[in-house]
Structure 1
Amino acid sequence: MTRHITRILGSTALSALLALPALADSAPPLATLPPPPVPADNPMSEEKVELGEKLFWDGRLSGNGSMPCSACHLPDLGWGTGGAISFGYPGTQHWRNSQTILNSAYYDKLFWEGSATSLESQAKGAAGGAVAGNGDGSMMEMRLRFVPEYVAAFKDVFGTEWPQVAHAWDAIAAYERTIVTDATKVPFDRYLAGDTDAMSDAAKRGMELFNGKAGCISCHNGALASDQKFYDIGVPAAEEFEVDPLYQITLRWELYQKGVTEELYRKGDDDLGLYHVTKRPDDKGKFRTPSLRELRWTEPYMHNGALWSLADVVDFYDAGGGEGQTAGLQPLGLGDGEKADLVAFLEALSMEEPMLAEAPDLPETATWSEFLK
């Protein structure tokens, strides 16, 4: 059997693979990401990606023109905002951390509570969300129709005489499927490919802890380092909710518009997470397991940005999670050296340099005289 595997992988890659600590039978091992899945009804093309890139940066796809996708997903801030809680639409305030869109192409559940099941629906939801983009679909579509370059591009890519806003979400999703980890720049992936020197000794010890004593692999597994399931790990409520009335207004609005009972509305003082989707009491406070890839560039962490460093995250889990957690976490008893090793491994799951991108030049809106010609 070993000779057969060696013929497939090569001796060096096999040595690296066999060096991985033993994993729990029920948890898929970490792996290198394959090419992103592409839905059959939204195939990729260079022209579609180029259009999606422009739309990603274009404020026309928002209520007042100031909140494009890039407003809350900035490349130089890990494709997030770099803060605990995301920006809100002017006059409002968001209530959750802005998740990075790095590797979002691999999720089948998007947003922290999993309410979107595709990048296409996620783009639509964010652009139209009252405290995010706050855009009206018909208004956004009409703005695109007043841009000659977009009219030509939508016709070329989608075959329509005029831009349709549903196709805008398709183009943005196609662009986001290109914002993924480059395995050749990730120490862990190079290690899996056979470069046994790609990771430091500390990272290798951290990998053993990850798969063993620390138990991280139980939920952070597979190529994405996420099982995409939902857990309440006891993350404390965001401090902002306690000190800023605008955050409190947003939280109450979210409770109301997501259809909670009057009792929950009046007593609600925290984000209910998955409960907003299922309305099952046991799902209160549960959030989707995030990927551990690119953590080095995407702080702070958790659904409300409560933890500002990887060391904080390791300390949180070492203590057995937070008050009231229902995920079955237990104190780990890690020493200081073990914690440092675990952080080193988590960093080795990121590219050695952040993925950056420049804002593209956006096309001009036609004047009335040009439009009427």
Structure 2
Amino acid sequence: MGKNYLYLWSISFIFLVSCTETEDYELARTALDIRLEELLVQNANGQGKRFFLLPDSDDFNAIPQDPLNPLNTFKVALGQLLLHETATAGAPKMSQMEGTYSCASCHPVASSFYSGRRQGIGEGGAGFGFAGEGRQIDLNMPLDSVDLQPVRPPTLLNVAYQETALWNGMLGATGPNLGTESRWAATGVPENHLGFQGLETQALVGQLTHRLQIDEDFINSNGYRWLFDQAFGDVAPGSRYTSQTAALALAAFNRTLLANRSPWQDYLKGDYDALSDREKRGAIVFAGKGQCITCHTGPALKDQEFHAFGFGHFDDSNDAIVLDDAGFDMVKKGRGGFTGNSSDNYKFKTPTLYNLRDAAFYGHGATFNSIEEVVRYKNNTSLQDQNASLNLASEMGAIDLTEEEISDLVYFLDKSLYDAELTRYVPGAVQSGNCFPNADPQSRIDLGCN
């Protein structure tokens, strides 16, 4: 009898504890949580909250990747170094600029891999400041030799969740670009015929566009040969030390740049205290009345579609310089400039919304200076570019948010989607020993390099 009593008491205790834990769990969920979860489930393609979860950066099986470029640890490590390596700046127009810039010049971690200034500068830039905002055109450089970006460089965060690259999606052979093959040569991207997705293609094209040189001489001179051997042991030695394998390593690393330590991600994993009530109200606006989740969906909060909201362009920005007027007309048409279809004109790819706080400028033309400006713009019907009116997104000006809803939504976007630990993606040093992400004299001072 004693043993039976003890057994029954144990079962009762376990049941009581289980009920208490369940009740505590239920009590942790407020009416705001219940409403938010309802909205998320409605927009989750039947997958529930996990539809919006970002994987860990070392969970390679869960990270979207190009089948032609499977991730491995050495490839990712090599890409991390190459992204920041200023010794890759080996093909400048002006010899004095050799070794002074890198991919990370326009994507520094200090500004969450956004450009620290309105318009990115590769070769021909000087200085860094605190977060890349201090980079300016070197006055000793002829202006037509400066590598100025025609659109604002988007962040590298969460780029794994896209099959095409650039604001108009012109880079990449798969996904949205199936059926556009006839436009590849005409728009200057024959590299698409290699069959890679956008990130891999961009990393290859970008080396030429931004005057980088990653070849066997660079690899041997800067101590990268062993890493190339480990990352690409399945590639014949004659093809192993090339700009193409370098591009595959860069793309592999970029795919692991995930903002998976934000409060929003913690909330999705079940930590209801990760968001304040104000943030939850903002998330409800985001997923409900604000209709943001229509385009900003999935783990990266972006679809693979292109939309017209009438945002302005660099020629509407006081601080931007357009060097190629003819080519810029195509840039301004967005997706339509690439596809040649008028129904695509002035449509641009949906960006991720993570770490917007560090972006400083917003939109492909950097014509907004705050998150709130963008929200208020989408809440009315006054377009910066009237040419977009024929293809305008249905959500534009149709949401009619109140002042309180705008305030809560902006707070959610600013705070809940912010991963404050991105320095985990930066190497302690690069193989050359150079200063990075820039190595011009003023940047070396700003960055505290010896």
The TM-score with structure 1 as length reference comes to: 0.79
Is the aligned partner of 1:338 residue 2:405?
yes
2:277 equivalent in structure 1: 201
Measured after TM superposition, the shift of residue 230 of structure 1 is 0.6
Cα distance 1:153–1:358, how it changes in 2: closer, same or farther (>3 A)? closer
1:114 equivalent in structure 2: 169
1:38 corresponds to which of 59, 65, 85: 65
2:11 equivalent in structure 1: none
Measured after TM superposition, the shift of residue 164 of structure 1 is 1.8
Instruction: Give a deviation string over 1:3-38, Cα, whole Å, max 9, x none.
Output: xxxxxxx88489587432436967757611233223
Larger helix percent: 2
Return the alpha-carbon distance in structure 2 between the equivalents of residues 213 and 320 of structure 1. Answer: 17
2:393 equivalent in structure 1: 327
2:440 equivalent in structure 1: none
Is the aligned partner of 1:22 residue 2:45?
no
* Conserved 8 A contact 1:57-1:359: no
Cα distance 1:187–1:238, how it changes in 2: closer, same or farther (>3 A)? same
* Conserved 8 A contact 2:214-2:246: no
Partner letter of residue 31 of structure 1?
F
Instruction: Give a deviation string over 1:302-352, Cα, whole Å, max 9, x none.
Output: 111111211111111111362534112224332322111001221244235
Cα distance 1:311–1:146, how it changes in 2: closer, same or farther (>3 A)? same
2:326 equivalent in structure 1: 252
Measured after TM superposition, the shift of residue 110 of structure 1 is 1.5
Is the aligned partner of 1:56 residue 2:83?
yes
1:169 corresponds to which of 238, 247, 250: 247
1:86 equivalent in structure 2: 120
Instruction: Give a deviation string over 1:269-326, Cα, whole Å, max 9, x none.
Output: x722112220112222110011112223333211111112111111111113625341
1:360 equivalent in structure 2: 429
1:272 equivalent in structure 2: 333
SS in 1 for 2:226: helix
Return the alpha-carbon distance in structure 2 between the equivalents of residues 116 and 82 of structure 1. Answer: 24
Return the alpha-carbon distance in structure 1 between the equivalents of residues 211 and 149 of structure 2. Answer: 12
* Conserved 8 A contact 2:114-2:358: no
Partner letter of residue 38 of structure 1?
Q
Cα distance 1:23–1:39, how it changes in 2: closer, same or farther (>3 A)? closer
Return the alpha-carbon distance in structure 1 between the equivalents of residues 218 and 245 of structure 2. Answer: 11
Cα distance 1:198–1:146, how it changes in 2: closer, same or farther (>3 A)? closer
Instruction: Give a deviation string over 1:192-225, Cα, whole Å, max 9, x none.
Output: 2222221111111112211222111221112221
Return the alpha-carbon distance in structure 1 between the equivalents of residues 397 and 44 of structure 2. Answer: 18
Return the alpha-carbon distance in structure 1 between the equivalents of residues 204 and 417 of structure 2. Answer: 29
Is the aligned partner of 1:71 residue 2:105?
yes
Return the alpha-carbon distance in structure 2 between the equivalents of residues 181 and 22 of structure 1. Answer: 22
Partner letter of residue 36 of structure 1?
I
Partner letter of residue 125 of structure 1?
V
1:293 equivalent in structure 2: 354
Return the alpha-carbon distance in structure 2 between the equivalents of residues 83 and 354 of structure 1. Answer: 21
Count of matched residue positions in the alignment of Structure 1 and Structure 2? 334
Is the aligned partner of 1:307 residue 2:323?
no
Is the aligned partner of 1:141 residue 2:215?
yes
SS in 1 for 2:224: helix
Structure 1 unmatched runs, 5+ = 1-9, 261-269, 366-373
* Conserved 8 A contact 1:79-1:102: yes
Cα distance 1:347–1:150, how it changes in 2: closer, same or farther (>3 A)? same
Is the aligned partner of 1:154 residue 2:228?
yes
Return the alpha-carbon distance in structure 1 between the equivalents of residues 355 and 222 of structure 2. Answer: 38
Instruction: Give a deviation string over 1:175-203, Cα, whole Å, max 9, x none.
Output: 21221122xx3222222222222111111
SS in 2 for 1:327: coil
Identity %: 26
Q: Point out the structure with max Rg over C-alpha.
A: 2
Return the alpha-carbon distance in structure 2 between the equivalents of residues 74 and 52 of structure 1. Answer: 15
Cα distance 1:147–1:86, how it changes in 2: closer, same or farther (>3 A)? same
Cα distance 1:79–1:249, how it changes in 2: closer, same or farther (>3 A)? same
Partner letter of residue 157 of structure 1?
A
1:220 equivalent in structure 2: 296
Instruction: Give a deviation string over 1:44-71, Cα, whole Å, max 9, x none.
Output: 2222222212211223444224342111
Return the alpha-carbon distance in structure 1 between the equivalents of residues 427 and 220 of structure 2. Answer: 25
Partner letter of residue 19 of structure 1?
R
Instruction: Give a deviation string over 1:39-95, Cα, whole Å, max 9, x none.
Output: 333232222222212211223444224342111110101112222222254323221
Partner letter of residue 405 of structure 2?
E
Cα distance 1:158–1:319, how it changes in 2: closer, same or farther (>3 A)? same
Return the alpha-carbon distance in structure 2 between the equivalents of residues 205 and 311 of structure 1. Answer: 16
* Conserved 8 A contact 1:232-1:286: yes
Return the alpha-carbon distance in structure 2 between the equivalents of residues 96 and 354 of structure 1. Answer: 27
SS in 2 for 1:204: helix
Return the alpha-carbon distance in structure 2 between the equivalents of residues 157 and 352 of structure 1. Answer: 29
